[in-house]
Amino acid sequence: MTATVGDARPAGPGRTRLHEAALRLFADHGVNGTSLQMIADEMGVTKAAVYHHYRTKEELVVGVVTPFLDRVSEVLEHARTRRGRRAQVETVLEGLVDLVVDARRMYVVTAVDPVIAHLHEHHPRMREVGGEMRELLAGPDAEPGRRVAVAFFLSGVIGPLADPTCGDVDDDALRAMVMDVGRQLLLPRRASRG
Amino acid sequence: MTATVGDARPAGPGRTRLHEAALRLFADHGVNGTSLQMIADEMGVTKAAVYHHYRTKEELVVGVVTPFLDRVSEVLEHARTRRGRRAQVETVLEGLVDLVVDARRMYVVTAVDPVIAHLHEHHPRMREVGGEMRELLAGPDAEPGRRVAVAFFLSGVIGPLADPTCGDVDDDALRAMVMDVGRQLLLPRRASRG
DNA sequence: GTCTATACGGAGATAGAC
DNA sequence: GTCTATCTCCGTATAGAC
């Protein structure tokens, strides 16, 4: 049994330091390639100290991902308050790109890591948030073409974040460029160009 | 000719079976999440039998990736025989999308796995092929916007392949849709930045 | 090419003192 | 909240027989 981590504690400073150290390493080596020993070393403590915060590695992973998941939830919630599909898509797009550029490393990890991919399938809240995002972006009963575009976009955003050839692009420029691509893919103009 | 692979053995049937089994598991669990024991079980043999083909796990990984790398090389070579940047980009696009749809699992692995990402940085031939592809798609001394688009595209293609909400889309449709997106991003009509 | 058997290290995890 | 010490299991890898 994999236990639901209804761990709603507010995450003190120690925990936050742990999250940050773990995240750095996850982004570099993947979750499976990162041992608790590595994390402990990164923080300058021992494994046992890490185990004080989480009972298992899996719970640690969930703990690291959760704050990011929360922010995505907020974006979706905000989008739902808007009227009209186009406005909703635009809002998700903006919020997501913002979030993703701001938390580069995190999104790379959450989007790409095999371990987290499994979590996406099995962890109830991740399934839920992922589903809601796709639904908001694609719309109900979307045609294949639309679903492909959405999947393409969600996966595409990580490219510029991870690609070394884009390392020189600063956050603001990146945000603008990715938004541009996102609009092209998900908000095609009806008749003419605007 | 598609260059030498460190290990230029012709890959008999046993080796090919091994590659396929390993690939299936890599795609599911990531390279680090796949033990040689799992691979052996998948093939119905023992670990020692696997070690008959490769001396280390890393060599196995390279062996699995190489055939795919060779096909990418062929695509690039073919593109270089064409005259004009647009024609070259179009050719790479077509070849790559074809290849990627045909070898879904493989591309997901090569594009996404943390272990292979490190290989991309350190393994000479992978560095080379990756660099050549970006150069062909982006052009020499490309501006940031173009580089972002290329990175976005290369990462975006894996989305529809991996996303469960696109599972019902058959290969031909997928190919067409992804090509469409690729042209939008990389071959803008009446290019303002070509 | 495949097997059995085994070496060795490092992984995740626990106990209990400070 | 952090430590030392320790457990167990499984990972990679090797030796040598069939």
Q: What are phi and psi of B164, to 5 degrees?
A: -60, -30
Measured CA to CA, the distance from residue A140 to residue B147 in angstroms comes to: 33
Which residue in the set B144, B152, B166 is minimally distant from A156, CB to CB? B152
Residue B82 pLDDT exceeds 60: yes
In a domain? residue A158: yes
In a domain? residue A22: no
What is the band of B12 on the pLDDT scale with cuts at 50, 70, 90? confident
Three-class SS of residue A168?
Answer: coil
Identify whether the C-beta of residue A93 lies closer than 8 Å to the C-beta of residue A82.
no
pLDDT of residue A58: 97
Residue A65 pLDDT exceeds 90: yes
Single-letter residue type at B179: M
Residue B4 pLDDT exceeds 50: no
Q: Which helix (H) or strand (E) holds B109?
A: helix B104-112
The strand ranges marked E within chain A are none
> How far in angstroms lies nucleotide C4's C1' from the CA of residue B48?
10
A114 lies in which domain range? 64-186
Chain B residues whose beta carbon lies within 8 Å of the beta carbon of residue A152: 156-157, 159-160, 178, 181
Place of tokens 């889309």: B169
A176: closest chain B residue by CA: B145
What is the band of B141 on the pLDDT scale with cuts at 50, 70, 90? very high
In a domain? residue B191: no
Measured CA to CA, the distance from residue A148 to residue A187 in angstroms comes to: 14
B146: closest chain A residue by CA: A177
Instruction: DSSP letter for B112, please.
Output: H
Measured CA to CA, the distance from residue B146 to residue B137 in angstroms comes to: 9
Single-letter residue type at B130: G
In a domain? residue B1: no
What is the band of B1 on the pLDDT scale with cuts at 50, 70, 90? very low
Which residue in the set A151, A160, A168 is minimally distant from B152, CB to CB? A160
Measured CA to CA, the distance from residue A71 to residue A106 in angstroms comes to: 12
What is the band of A13 on the pLDDT scale with cuts at 50, 70, 90? confident
Residue A19 pLDDT exceeds 60: yes
User: How much is the mean pLDDT over chain A?
Assistant: 92
Instruction: DSSP letter for B55, please.
Output: S
User: How much is the mean pLDDT over chain B?
Assistant: 92
**Tens-digit pLDDT profile for residues A26-45:** 999 999 999 999 999 999 99
In a domain? residue B37: yes
The two structure tokens encoding residue A135:
């639904």
Instruction: DSSP letter for A91, please.
Output: H
Closest residue (CA) to C1' of nucleotide D1 is A49
Count up the domains in chain A and report the number.
1
Nearest nt to the B13 alpha carbon by C1': C1
Percent of chain B past pLDDT 70, that is, above it, reads 92
Q: Specify burial of residue A64 (Cβ count, 10 A radius: 0-12, 13-18, 19+).
A: buried
**Tens-digit pLDDT profile for residues A69-78:** 999 999 999 9
For B93, other C-beta atoms within 10 Å of its C-beta total: 22
pLDDT of residue B159: 96
In a domain? residue A130: yes
Q: What's the CATH code of the domain at A108?
A: 1.10.357
> How far in angstroms lies nucleotide D5's C1' from the CA of residue A49?
14
**Tens-digit pLDDT profile for residues A141-187:** 999 999 999 999 999 999 999 999 999 999 999 999 999 999 999 99
Which of B38, B22, B181 lies closest to B100 in space, CA to CA?
Answer: B181
Taking residues B141-168, what's their average pLDDT?
95
Cβ of B152 and A178 within 8 Å? Answer: yes
Place of tokens 């298992």: A56
**Tens-digit pLDDT profile for residues B38-77:** 999 999 999 999 999 999 999 999 999 999 999 999 999 9
Nearest nt to the B52 alpha carbon by C1': C1
Q: What's the CATH code of the domain at B84?
A: 1.10.357.10
